[in-house]
């Protein structure tokens, strides 16, 4: 490779990292510390409209009961909580019934199955169909343990009549050390960072809400049927109507569920990549290109710095790019500095590995067949499910 070409790639890689690894997380910090508080202060009055809080539940973990109790003890008066399971004999059902009995709040709904609609979508649709009075539908994954003000914070933006969708995120509290656990914790930290980036419409499916009127007018019930996705379908509707979701960092909630191994993490990431490719292709392509560029550039910059004889501006650019990738983890953590998660040294080091995991997973997401638990899903061109096959072990 010629010297001018090497110089071009070093400068381009440096610029990419400056934007992706430094400016994006700094934007997140500014949004959390300055922009969001100012937006909230401009809202007049407290929300007092009825809310339909939907909690899809499947399986059980050691944290599930406390998570459900935290959801049931929300400080919001006009609230109906619907815990939804696929069947009446789900392992989560005894815990749901105990929480309802102890808190005096919530109802349990058995959604059943829809052949070509995945469980979470079907659970949400059943819970929405059961509600006739609420002005807002709010989705909360059962792995989250929200604060008592979670619902109030999530629906406060609807005081502004122009807001139709709010969203937030989870923050992983790892149970202990481990490469898969730490990598997942670091990668999940990027979710609120991307939510704060207003140029790309992004909604996280584990924690979002939508105004009833918008849900009906946008015909989301029909669009969610026959798919495995809810949030990216909603993103497309937001783009169609030239609207943005309102990101609520005050509602970012701890989660104690992690991927114990890199293999488990990659399976999840591949499925995330497949879902994005199916329902939000431009964003999948953008992330694929960026993550691949960062991974390949990281290897190239390290090789160039090691092979260089003496110090030069090219070596400084290569080392500076590597340093920015590492500092990225600390900057991602910065807006949520009070959260308990993993040592700062790990936040500094984990991006060196995390970008390779994401790039590889998004390349493997080209596979048109999606593994979903014990099932394999095949899709039509419009993203709806064409066939579901049970895999036998």
pLDDT reading at 6 higher than 60: yes
Give the chain's end-to-end CA distance (angstroms, integer). 50
pLDDT at residue 355, as a whole number: 97
Q: Cα-flanking dihedrals φ and ψ of residue 21, to 5°?
A: -95, -20
Tell me whether residue 111 is exposed, middle or buried, using C-beta atoms within 10 angstroms of its C-beta: 0 to 12, 13 to 18, 19 or more.
buried
Residue extents of the structural domains in the chain:
3-23+281-390, 43-260
Q: Which residues contact 337 (CB under 8 A, 6 or more apart)?
A: none
Q: What is the pLDDT of residues 163-181, one digit of tens each?
A: 999 999 999 999 999 999 9
Q: Cβ distance 54 to 108 under 8 Å?
A: no
**Model confidence pLDDT, tens digit, residues 109-139:** 999 999 889 989 999 999 999 999 999 999 9
Note the pLDDT of residue 393. Answer: 45
pLDDT for 1 equals 63
What is the largest distance, in Å, between two alpha-carbon atoms of the chain?
72
Kindly list the strands in the beta sheet with 375-379, ordered across the sheet, starting from the edge strand earlier in the chain.
370-372, 375-379, 385-390
**231 — pLDDT class (breaks 50, 70, 90):** very high
Averaged confidence pLDDT in the chain: 94
Contacts of 303 (CB under 8 A, 6+ apart): none
Model confidence at 5, in pLDDT bands (50, 70, 90)? confident
How confident is the model over 90-110, as pLDDT tens digits?
A: 999 999 999 999 999 999 999
Q: Which residues have a Cβ under 8 Å from the Cβ of 256 and sit 6 or more positions away? A: 61, 63, 143, 145, 172, 173, 175
Rg, Å, the chain Cα set: 22
Answer whether residue 392 shows pLDDT above 60: no
| Predicted pLDDT at 293 | 97
Distances (CA, A) of 4 to 18, 181, 304: 21, 41, 14
Task: Say how far apart CA 210 and CA 40 lie, in whole Å.
Answer: 18
Q: Provide mean pLDDT across the span 230-243.
A: 97
Query: Mean pLDDT, to the nearest integer, of 32-61?
Result: 94
Sign of CA dihedral 232, 235, 239, 241: positive
Count Cβ atoms below 10 Å from residue 61 Cβ, excluding itself. 14
**Would you place residue 337 in the very low, low, confident or very high pLDDT band (cuts 50, 70, 90)?**
very high
User: What sign does the CA torsion over 222, 226, 228, 233 have?
Assistant: negative
Domain at 43-260: CATH code:
3.90.550.10
Q: Is the pLDDT of residue 391 over 80?
A: no
CA distance 22 to 324: 7
User: pLDDT tens across 270-326, in order?
Assistant: 999 999 999 999 999 999 999 999 999 999 999 999 998 888 999 999 999 999 999
Q: What is the pLDDT of residue 363?
A: 97
Distance, C-alpha 46 to centroid of its chain? 27
- 379: closest CA among 228, 224, 204? 228
CA distance 157 to 46: 9
Distance of CA 7 to the CA centre of its chain: 37
Q: Give dist(CA 360, CA 212) in Å, integer.
A: 39
Can you say how many angstroms the Cα of residue 59 is from the centroid of all Cα atoms in its chain?
A: 20
- Average pLDDT for 69-73: 98
CA 229 to chain centre: 13
């Amino acid at each position: 490779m010629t010297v001018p070409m090497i110089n071009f790639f070093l400068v381009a890689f440096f610029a990419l990292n400056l934007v992706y690894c430094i400016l994006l997380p700094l934007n997140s910090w500014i949004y959390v510390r300055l922009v969001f508080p100012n937006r909230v202060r401009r809202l007049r009055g407290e929300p007092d409209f009825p809310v339909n809080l939907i909690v899809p539940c499947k399986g059980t973990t050691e944290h599930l009961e406390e998570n459900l109790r935290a959801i049931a003890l929300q400080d919001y008066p006009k609230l109906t909580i619907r815990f939804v399971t696929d069947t009446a004999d789900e392992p989560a059902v005894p815990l749901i019934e105990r929480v309802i009995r102890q808190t005096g709040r919530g109802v349990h709904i058995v959604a059943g199955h829809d052949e070509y609609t995945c469980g979470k979508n079907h659970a949400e649709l059943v819970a929405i169909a059961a509600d006739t009075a609420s002005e807002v539908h709010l989705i909360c994954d059962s792995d989250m343990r929200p604060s008592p003000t979670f619902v109030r914070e999530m629906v406060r933006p609807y005081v502004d009549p122009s807001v139709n969708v709010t969203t937030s995120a989870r923050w992983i509290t790892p149970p202990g050390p481990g490469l898969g656990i730490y990598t997942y914790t670091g990668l999940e930290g990027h979710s609120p960072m991307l939510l704060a980036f207003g140029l790309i419409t992004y909604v996280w499916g584990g924690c979002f809400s939508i105004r009833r009127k918008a849900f009906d007018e946008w015909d989301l019930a029909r669009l969610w049927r026959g798919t495995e996705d809810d949030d990216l379908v909603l993103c497309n509707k937001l783009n169609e109507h030239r609207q943005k979701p309102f990101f609520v960092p005050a509602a970012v909630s701890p989660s104690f569920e992690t991927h114990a191994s890199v293999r488990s993490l990659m399976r999840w990431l591949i499925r995330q990549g497949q879902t994005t490719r199916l329902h939000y292709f431009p964003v999948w392509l953008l992330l694929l290109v960026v993550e691949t560029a960062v991974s390949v550039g990281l290897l190239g910059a390290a090789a160039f710095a090691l092979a260089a004889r003496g110090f030069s501006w090219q070596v400084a650019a290569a080392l500076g790019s590597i340093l920015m990738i590492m500092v990225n983890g600390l900057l991602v953590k910065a807006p949520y500095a009070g959260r308990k998660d993993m040592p700062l040294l790990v936040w500094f080091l984990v991006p060196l590995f995390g970008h390779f995991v994401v790039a590889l997973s998004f390349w493997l997401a080209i596979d048109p067949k999606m593994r979903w638990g014990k099932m394999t899903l095949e899709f039509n061109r419009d993203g709806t499910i064409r066939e579901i096959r049970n895999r036998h072990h």
